[in-house]
Amino acid sequence: MSSIAAEFGQKSRLKALLDHFSLIDDPRDPWRVAYPLPEILLLAVCGTIADCEDYEAIAAWGEARLDFLRRFQPYHHGVPSGRWLTVFMNRINPCLFQDCFTAWVREAWPDRPELVAIDGKTSRRSHDRSRAQAPLHLVSAFATTSRLVLGQEAVEDKAGELAAIPVLLERLAADGGLTGAIVTIDAIACNATIAQAIRDAGADYLLAVKANQPTLRDEIETYFAEAPDVALEHATDIDKGHGRIEQRTVTVAREVDWLTGERRFPGEVRLPAVASIIRVGSKAELKDRCRFDTRYYVSSATLSAQAAAEAIRGHWGIENRLHWVLDVVFTDDQSRLRKGHGAQNMAVVRHFAINLVRKAEEPARPRSGLRRATKKPAKPKATSIKLRRKLAGWDTDYLDAILAAKIR
């Protein structure tokens, strides 16, 4: 019996995935279909989980694990070749694929995110010089608390992020998906249009203020330099690691009525519903020197200093827990997919895989026969995503457990 069958009325994440795959429009004539779309997409996701980096490797893995795949889909004609898989994935409408991903995440993990970080990443080797084609640049939304990818939108280059962010926000906000969340974005999105789009989605914004908004930055910097200490709230933390000791002091001011005055300077930016402004001062002690930095933020949420510190630190989770993992574990920067929609669709497949692998239960560990009775056993370390992928490739029972996890 298939492990995707419901137990006690619960639906598995794989069953939800197959349901959403079935809603994607298949561009082929029905009478010519040997490999149905759900079979192809399931093969791509399972192969990516199982440590395959491209379509050739995914097809080879599928041939070796055909009995496993037939637990979930019939695969009457086996699995397609790597070349066939590449051509087909180049043709799938990426917008439909992205919508499918967002809807699946919302069903598989129904809790609303508290902190959502939005940032862009370039797949550096996906360019095609012969066609003057720039590398794929994908703007992703990442729930920093639950460590889940929520959605993505492709753009031509980093400059196109401003146009992609409102589209991504609209998709995430459907059916109240962002209600009550705090959305954090770097300084590129510090403008009234994106701030209003976040507010319209029922969320609050926390935006970095840098030199691209010099007037606003100067006003905030001057306020913190002159404000009485009684009007400010502080929180300090010390972090040690990577060869440095870093002290960060977060200062929050919530008396911001002066930002909503009627007087305006030419080109001045006024953001809607500002409730807090934030200064982060950091001092990093390195081996041979000290490094100082000051950053400023503006938010529509009434934040305490501690809450602001957590939200700002959480934003960098998209770099450390998504972009770094994609580059180092999934070798995204080394991918040479360049034709059609192949690179974009494969990026979404990796997001399917990273969510499933990250939320999987810890694999069972063999118990060592050598153990000191006098010593308390050390707490086992969490299994890395890299090792989980390798285990899934070696052991189909573990891969089955990843796919069959229930929606809670």
Indicate the range of 229-238, 267-276, 310-319 predicted with least confidence: 267-276
Has residue 378 got a pLDDT over 60? no
- Please state, for a pLDDT cut of 70, what percent of the chain lies above it: 86
In this predicted structure, the answer to whether residue 166 has a pLDDT above a threshold of 80 is yes
- Give the chain as a 3 state SS string: CCCCCCECCECEHHHHHHHHHCCCCCCCCHHHCCCCHHHHHHHHHHHHHCCCCCHHHHHHHHHHCHHHHCCCCCCCCCCCCHHHHHHHHHHCCHHHHHHHHHHHHHHHCCCCCCEEEEEEEEEHHHCEHHHCECCEEEEEEEECCCCEEEEEEEECCHHHHHHHHHHHHHHHHHHHCCCCCEEEECHHHCCHHHHHHHHHCCCEEEEEECCCCHHHHHHHHHHHHHCCHHHEEEEEEEEEECCEEEEEEEEEECCCHHHHCCCCCCCCCCCCCCCEEEEEEEEEECCCCEEEEEEEEEECCCCCHHHHHHHHHHHCHHHHHHHHHHHHCCCHHHCCCCCCCHHHHHHHHHHHHHHHHHCCCCCCCCCCCCCCCCCCCCCCCCCCHHHHHHHHHHCHHHHHHHHCCECC
Given a cut of 50, is residue 270 above it in pLDDT? yes
Domains annotated on the chain, with CATH: 13-93+341-362+383-403 (no CATH), 96-259+269-328 (3.90.350.10)
Is the pLDDT at 22 greater than 60? The verdict is: yes
Per-residue pLDDT at 389 exceeds 90:
yes
Question: If you average pLDDT over every residue of the chain, what do you get?
Answer: 85
Summarize pLDDT for 65-104 with one digit per residue, the tens: 999 999 999 999 999 999 999 888 888 888 888 999 999 9
Predicted local confidence at residue 263, as pLDDT: 57
Residues 317-339: pLDDT tens digits? Answer: 898 899 899 888 988 776 666 56
Q: What is the pLDDT of residue 302?
A: 94
